[in-house]
Amino acid sequence: MLVIRPITSSDYDALNTCAVESGHGFTSLPVNEELLTNRITHSEYSFAKPDVTEPGDEGYLMVGVDSETGEVAGTTGIEAAIGWDVPFYSYHISTVVHSSPKLGVNNVVKLLTFGNNYTGCSEICTLFLRPQFRQGLNGRLMSKSRFLMMAEHPHRFSKTVFAEMRGVSDEHGNSPFWQWLQEHFFSIDFTLADYLTGIGKKGFIADLMPKLPIYINLLSKEAQAVIGKVHDNTAPALALLEKEGFTCRNYVDIFDAGPTVECDVRNINAVRDSFKVTVKIASHQSNSTYLIANTSFEDFRATAATASVDRETGIALLSAEVAQALNVAEGESVRLLAQ
């Protein structure tokens, strides 16, 4: 059974393994001991922070753990409100028309405009599931457990929730989009730029990035072809978010041009469709599977398991094993999402 819980300092080695296995282009998991240690420390601070009434600088990082072996299967996280400590940049794709009625010319062109449009929004991020655990409901659990947390503790998150999807790059970490930017505006390769961003050194972006809009038709054909496209390994994650109601509003990443998708937190399917019940610990014969989360924040737990649910009485029968995994006792509440 895979159980989601807040990360702790003892999980450093496992998080580093995830960073190594995630490969190039995974900005939020750079292979850097100081950064990973700081992320763990900041997450521990954020989960323990008292009296939070609105999203701020909190960053919540969690791990999925095999309940039998104790092995960490992956990681997933939420930034409560990005842009408070370091700037968050993106490109917006817009359309303009260059027209001359006298000449009978009417050209429609697209622009990339540099900006900070997502400042203050909550970001779901750092979702990585190790290859040997990519089976069953593990991927859904790693992703949707965050939405169960948002449904139970909405005051900690912003109205708009977004996710940056990894864009196209090859096995060596080369991005066609970045190669064009590098040639014209930068003198560092994609992997270094991505790494510097991951460790928080973003000053070079504002220093070197063109401030005026870029005409997309002036980019190389290779760069144009990958705008708004995702890395093959990211396609399943994008499909899952789209089913939840996320959509791209024409924002893309400034390095690899991968799409940014967003949704009003109230319209996320998992937030809207999840419901609370009271726990009764007992054996049952139900085959109905749910994603189940406890209602604690500091001691958050989530898993995928069968349960026997009576919506009229508001009672759910959970096995002793599941109740133990969720750290819940009989009479306490859990939040369920049918699968």
Question: Greater confidence, 142 or 175?
Answer: 142
- Decide whether 2-84+119-168+224-270 matches 274-338 in CATH topology: no
The neighbouring-strand residues paired with 292 are 303, 336
Token pair for 322:
């599941």
Cβ neighbours for 232, distance < 8 A, ≥ 6 positions apart:
none
Q: What pLDDT score was predicted for residue 208?
A: 62
Q: Per-residue pLDDT for 200 more than 70?
A: no
Q: Over the chain, what is the mean pLDDT? A: 91
> For every residue of the chain, which 3-state class applies, written as one string?
CEEEEECCHHHHHHHHHHHHHHCCCCCCCCCCHHHHHHHHHHHHHHHHCCCCCCCCCCEEEEEEEECCCCCEEEEEEEECCCCCCCCCCEEEEEEEEEEECCCCEEEEEEEEEEECCCCCCEEEEEEEECHHHCCCCHHHHHHHHHHHHHHHCHHHCCCEEEEECCCCCCCCCCCHHHHHHHHHCCCCCHHHHHHHHHCCCCHHHHHHCCCCCEEHHHCCHHHHHHCCCCCHHHHHHHHHHHHCCCEEEEEECCCCCCEEEEEEHHHCHHHHHCEEEEEEECCCCCCCEEEEEECCCCCCCEEEEECEEECCCCEEEECHHHHHHHCCCCCCEEEEEEC
Residue 175: pLDDT band with limits 50, 70, 90: confident
pLDDT above 70: percentage of residues in the chain? 92
pTM over 0.85: yes
Whole-number Å distance between alpha carbons of 58 and 173: 30
Write the pLDDT tens digit of every residue in 268-301: 999 999 999 999 999 999 999 999 999 999 999 9
Distances in Å between the Cα of 79 and the Cα atoms of 61, 102, 121, 215 are: 8, 52, 8, 32
- Cβ neighbourhood burial of 196 (10 Å; 0-12, 13-18, 19+): middle
Amino acid at 237: A
Q: Is the pLDDT of residue 336 over 90?
A: yes
The per-residue pLDDT for range 81-131, each reduced to its tens digit, is: 998 877 888 999 999 998 888 888 888 999 999 898 999 999 999 999 999
> Does residue 321 have a pLDDT over 70?
yes
125-137 burial string, b = 16+ CB within 10 Å, else e?
bbbbbbeebeeeb
Q: Catalytic positions, please?
A: 231
- With CA atoms as reference, report the closest residue to 81 among 29, 153, 159, 8: 159
Going by CATH, does the domain composed of 274-338 fall within 2.40.40.20?
Answer: yes
Per-domain residue ranges of the chain: 2-84+119-168+224-270, 274-338
**Domain at 2-84+119-168+224-270, CATH class:** alpha beta
